[in-house]
């Protein structure tokens, strides 16, 4: 893949399982916070699956739409957009009632120095949304940052491991989870907490950051020597299909790929494809922020896009000057400061 058109085509192609899911799911879908990194591709995938399923279903996309052109882009492929500041309670309450909600709103980068805003977005707002949509199914985007570091030989934190987030971003994300969990108990709202790390889109992500370091001749930091990742198209599909895995009390689900990936291995593989010898700095730790996604794979199967395929695509993308989004993951961060 070399162009945005190639990327969009692959990212938004629904699987037979997703098409069947759309035939089974009752009601329309609302994506709250559709303007983030994953929202537009998730919306497009949902629309393509609905059309392929031959069902009459709306997809609503809610965002402030601060990015120029995004609202028009979403409308062009059939999403019904609503410009809304979710922190404005009057505007939140005016949103239509929809039986299926995917909650993607939140903040990560710039947390340091604006901790107050991070907590409002990640812990206060979820309570208001959970009350507004108490009669809906809700899939809540969260993060593996709620987990403690685990030994790299352990296989990653599974859902039964108690959260122990490092830093205020991770702590506020646990606050988000607890708000939805509370209202799931209180109101019987079926909820699934979707703990993701890390989604790979060729324009950003851990693999692209490693490839950029290679191309620019920069040393690759081994501070966080291992990571997980999953193709964003697969992550989007799991988010949609998770609507039928919501429960009360809330269900919890790790979403990532099956491998514990060595940063050294990823750099060497990308280096072979790009004809560049990696330079490393720092030492690999015996622990890392890792998730075990065995439960997700039992429910939905293994991701369709493999690690080697992602490495091939990322190398080709960066080698041919593909478009990039300046939203680094900061996957190397071990102090929880974003």
Left (φ > 0), alpha (ψ -120 to 50) or beta: where does 229 sit? beta
Greater model confidence, 157 or 107: 157
Do the beta carbons of residue 19 and residue 92 sit within 8 Å?
no
- How far apart CA 95 and CA 103 sit, in angstroms, is 14
Question: Considering only 79-83, 90-94, 109-113, 207-211, which range has the smallest mean pLDDT?
Answer: 109-113
pLDDT at 329: 81
Instruction: Give, as one character, the DSSP assignment of residue 30.
Output: E
Do the beta carbons of residue 193 and residue 251 sit within 8 Å?
yes
Q: Is the pLDDT of residue 218 over 80?
A: yes
Do the beta carbons of residue 81 and residue 96 sit within 8 Å?
no
- How far apart CA 250 and CA 254 sit, in angstroms, is 13
Q: What are the boundaries of each domain within the chain?
A: 4-204+229-260+288-303
Mean pLDDT, residues 252-268: 98
Q: Is the pLDDT of residue 110 over 80?
A: no
Q: Is the pLDDT of residue 109 over 80?
A: no
pLDDT at 108: 78
Mean pLDDT, residues 180-187: 98
Query: Among residues 159, 144, 269, 274, which one has the least CA distance to residue 199?
Result: 144
291-123-30 Cα angle (round to 5): 80
Greater model confidence, 330 or 176: 176
Identify the H or E element spanning 29. Answer: strand 29-32
How deeply is 236 buried, as exposed, middle or buried, from its count of CB atoms within 10 A (0-12, 13-18, 19+)?
buried
Kindly calculate the radius of gyration of the chain based on its CA atoms and give it in whole angstroms.
19
pLDDT at 112: 73
Tokens 């949609």 correspond to what residue? 240
Hey, which CATH number is domain 4-204+229-260+288-303, 3.40.225.10, 3.30.160.340, 3.30.70.1400, 3.40.50.720? 3.40.50.720
- How far apart CA 299 and CA 50 sit, in angstroms, is 21
Instruction: Give, as one character, the DSSP assignment of residue 124.
Output: I
Model confidence pLDDT, tens digit, residues 117-150: 999 999 999 999 999 999 999 999 999 999 999 9
Percentage of residues of the chain with pLDDT beyond 90:
92
pLDDT at 336: 77
Model confidence pLDDT, tens digit, residues 314-334: 999 999 999 998 878 878 888
- How far apart CA 273 and CA 172 sit, in angstroms, is 39
Do the beta carbons of residue 276 and residue 170 sit within 8 Å?
no
Tell me how far CA of residue 227 lies from CA of 135, 149, 215, 300, 308, in angstroms: 37, 11, 21, 21, 15
């Amino acid at each position: 893949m070399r162009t945005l058109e190639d990327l969009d085509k692959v990212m938004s192609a629904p699987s037979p399982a997703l098409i069947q899911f759309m035939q089974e799911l009752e009601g329309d879908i609302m994506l709250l916070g559709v303007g983030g990194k994953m929202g537009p591709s998730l919306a497009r995938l949902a629309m393509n699956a609905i059309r392929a399923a031959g069902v009459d279903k709306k997809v609503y996309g809610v965002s402030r739409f601060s990015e120029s052109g995004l609202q028009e882009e979403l409308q062009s492929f059939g999403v019904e957009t609503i410009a809304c500041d979710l922190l404005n309670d009057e505007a939140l309450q005016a949103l239509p009632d929809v039986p299926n909600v995917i909650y993607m709103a939140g903040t990560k980068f710039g947390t340091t120095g604006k901790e107050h805003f991070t907590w409002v977005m990640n812990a206060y707002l979820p309570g208001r949304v959970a009350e507004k949509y108490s009669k809906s199914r809700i899939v809540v985007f969260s993060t593996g940052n709620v987990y403690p570091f685990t030994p790299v030989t352990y296989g990653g934190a599974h859902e039964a491991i108690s959260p122990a987030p490092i830093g205020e971003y991770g702590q506020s994300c646990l606050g988000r989870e607890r708000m939805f969990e509370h209202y799931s108990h209180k109101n019987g709202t079926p909820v699934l907490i979707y703990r993701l790390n890390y989604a790979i889109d060729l324009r950003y992500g851990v693999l692209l950051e490693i490839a950029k370091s290679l191309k620019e001749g920069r040393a690759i930091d081994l501070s966080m020597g291992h990571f997980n990742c999953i193709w964003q198209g697969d992550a989007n599909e799991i988010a949609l299909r998770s609507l039928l895995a919501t429960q009360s009390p809330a269900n919890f689900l790790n979403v990532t790929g099956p491998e514990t990936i060595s940063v050294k291995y990823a750099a060497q593989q990308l280096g072979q494809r790009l004809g560049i010898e990696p330079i490393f700095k720092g030492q690999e730790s015996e622990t890392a922020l890792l998730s075990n996604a065995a439960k997700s794979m039992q429910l939905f199967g293994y991701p369709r896009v493999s690690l080697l395929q992602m490495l091939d695509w990322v190398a080709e993308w960066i080698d041919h000057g593909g478009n990039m989004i300046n939203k680094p993951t900061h996957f190397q961060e071990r102090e929880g400061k974003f």
